[in-house]
């Protein structure tokens, strides 16, 4: 049993968690997103590979149900969280050597084996970390604290993504210099060699950031870990699952998030490849888009935390979904000659999803009772992630079967998926409004009217002050 922590230790822990998040963000930015998509794209990835890239992290979260059960027999969450997070982050170091050791098809296969390892160990770290943070952050400060933490991490991501994008676009000088010390690679062209050298340099910097993140995680204090009585009782795992699913409010919440995940998962494998292969953006252009998106997220994080604590989670989520329904339409009207609307999507989606993510996370923390929170987190994560992952595999497989150049009513296959996403998001507002009950939240119309009144007041118009 960990010792009770003092108020000073708690403040220290909250500050340490921010630094952990900062370096974890550097790592995630340099080995993920457009860079890992470009990495597998250069290895010859097809639609099913892009689907695997987005779906495997969700599918790996199935392991959290076993981690949640295992936690019931542990006295501390910290060792498990630190070790698994470290393995997940450091496994990326191995991936940077693959293109230089194997032909591209074999390197792609081995990459996904290592990617599964990184996804599984990352998923193992998630449940104990969430439980750890729920005890560390006072309930009344959760909205504001996670807004602040997310905002700082988003600023870091926004700052590094543009120079990292330029580094890949202008990789030739560094590639030529480093290649002098490397043997010739028959399986790679000269340009591919420079590309993978660029990805490798970013991966090394990312892994070094992961080392610092892990050091901070080790230093973060852990409050006492409360576990249920008789944690080793036979069939306890099944009993915990029954407990969570017998909670009607929690069950309704899971069902709705599953529906939401299905709506969005069909398009998720295509966003980044669409920018690279259809819009024809280079890495620096995608970096600017990411910067715009992250800057908008920062603005949202400055605002949403206080609004969530004041008005509740439900109205913020509904407003975010409403505006998010229009985002896929911006992509449908864009092509290599006209891509301005995608920047509009970057602004709107960054602002709206930042609020929705915090609101959903706070809502989840509110549903989970103290003595069973780890199992609640695990059941929620597993069910919703499985429902998100399976359609991604299916759509990736179907997309590879579609003949090249397929067009129906002037739209290709991917744009039809974007249309479905837009319509599905808008329709989702109806069941969410009816089925989610949050007594402490304000009605969405009250929230909108109050905010509009404040905006009018700022600009000197008459209205609610």
- pLDDT at site 263: 92
pLDDT score for 376: 77
- DSSP states of 357-405 as a string? HHHHHHHHHHHS-GGGHHHHHHHHHHHHHHHHHHHHHHHHHHHHHSPTT
**Number of folded domains in the chain?**
1
Look at residue 457 in the predicted model and tell me its pLDDT. 66
The pLDDT assigned to 178 comes to: 67
In a domain, 191, yes or no: yes
Identify the domain containing residue 308 by its residue range: 7-221+236-458
DSSP per residue, 78-146: HHHHHHHHHHHHHTHHHHTTHHHHS-HHHHHHHHHHHHHHHHHHHHHHHHHHHHHHHHHS-GGGHHHHH
Report if residue 331 sits inside a domain. yes
pLDDT at 172 (0 to 100)? 64
In a domain, 318, yes or no: yes
pTM over 0.85: no
Residue 463, domain member (yes or no)? no
In a domain, 149, yes or no: yes
pLDDT for position 237: 57
Give me the pLDDT at residue 57, please.
84
Alpha carbons 120 and 83: distance in angstroms, whole number: 12
Low-confidence ranges of the chain (pLDDT < 70): 1-3, 171-188, 226-240, 370-374, 455-465
Question: What is the domain-level CATH number for residue 46?
Answer: 1.20.1250.20
Asked, for residue 2, whether it belongs to a domain, the answer is no
Residue with tokens 């296959």: 413
Q: Per the domain annotation, does 465 fall within a domain?
A: no
- 428 lies in some domain: yes
**Residue 3: what pLDDT?**
59
């Amino acid at each position: 049993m960990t010792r009770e922590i003092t108020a000073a230790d708690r403040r220290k822990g909250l500050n340490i968690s921010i630094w952990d998040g900062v370096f974890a963000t550097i790592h995630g930015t340099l080995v993920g997103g457009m860079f890992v998509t470009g990495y597998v794209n250069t290895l010859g990835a097809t639609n099913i590979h892009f689907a695997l890239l987005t779906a495997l992290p969700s599918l790996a979260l199935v392991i959290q149900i076993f981690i949640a059960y295992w936690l019931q027999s542990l006295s501390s969450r910290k060792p498990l969280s630190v070790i698994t997070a470290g393995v997940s982050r450091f496994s990326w170091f191995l991936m940077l050597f693959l293109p230089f050791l194997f032909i591209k098809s074999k390197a792609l296969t081995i990459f996904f084996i290592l990617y599964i390892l990184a996804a599984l160990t990352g998923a193992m770290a998630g449940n104990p970390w969430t439980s750890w943070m729920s005890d560390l952050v006072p309930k009344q400060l959760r909205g504001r604290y996670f807004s602040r933490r997310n905002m700082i991490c988003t600023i870091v991501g926004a700052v590094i993504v543009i120079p990292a994008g330029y580094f890949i676009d202008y990789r030739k000088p560094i590639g030529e210099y480093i290649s002098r010390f490397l043997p010739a690679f028959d399986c790679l062209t000269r340009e591919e060699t420079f590309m993978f050298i660029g990805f490798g340099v970013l991966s090394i910097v990312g892994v070094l950031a992961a080392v610092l993140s892990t050091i901070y995680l080790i230093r973060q204090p852990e409050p006492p870990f409360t576990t249920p009585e008789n944690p080793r009782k036979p069939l306890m795992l099944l009993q915990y699952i029954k407990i969570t699913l017998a909670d009607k409010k929690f069950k309704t919440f899971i069902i709705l998030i599953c529906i939401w995940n299905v709506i969005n998962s069909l398009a998720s494998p295509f966003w980044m490849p669409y920018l690279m292969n259809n819009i024809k953006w280079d890495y620096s252009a995608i970096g600017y888009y990411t910067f715009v998106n992250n800057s908008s997220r920062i603005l949202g994080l400055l605002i949403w935390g206080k609004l969530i604590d004041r008005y509740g989670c439900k109205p913020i989520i509904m407003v975010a979904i409403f505006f998010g329904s229009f985002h896929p339409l911006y992509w449908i009207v864009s092509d290599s000659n006209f891509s301005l609307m995608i920047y509009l999507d970057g602004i709107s989606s960054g602002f709206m999803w930042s609020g929705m993510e915090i609101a959903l996370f706070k809502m989840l923390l509110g549903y989970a009772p103290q003595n069973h929170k780890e199992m609640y987190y695990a059941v929620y994560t597993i069910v919703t992630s499985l429902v998100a992952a399976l359609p991604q595999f299916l759509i990736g497989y179907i997309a590879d079967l579609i003949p090249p150049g397929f067009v129906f009513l002037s739209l290709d296959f991917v744009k039809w998926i974007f249309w479905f996403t837009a319509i599905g998001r808008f329709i989702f507002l109806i069941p969410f409004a009816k089925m989610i009950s949050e007594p402490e939240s304000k009605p969405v119309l009250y929230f909108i009217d109050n905010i509009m009144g404040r905006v009018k007041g700022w600009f000197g118009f008459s209205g609610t002050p």
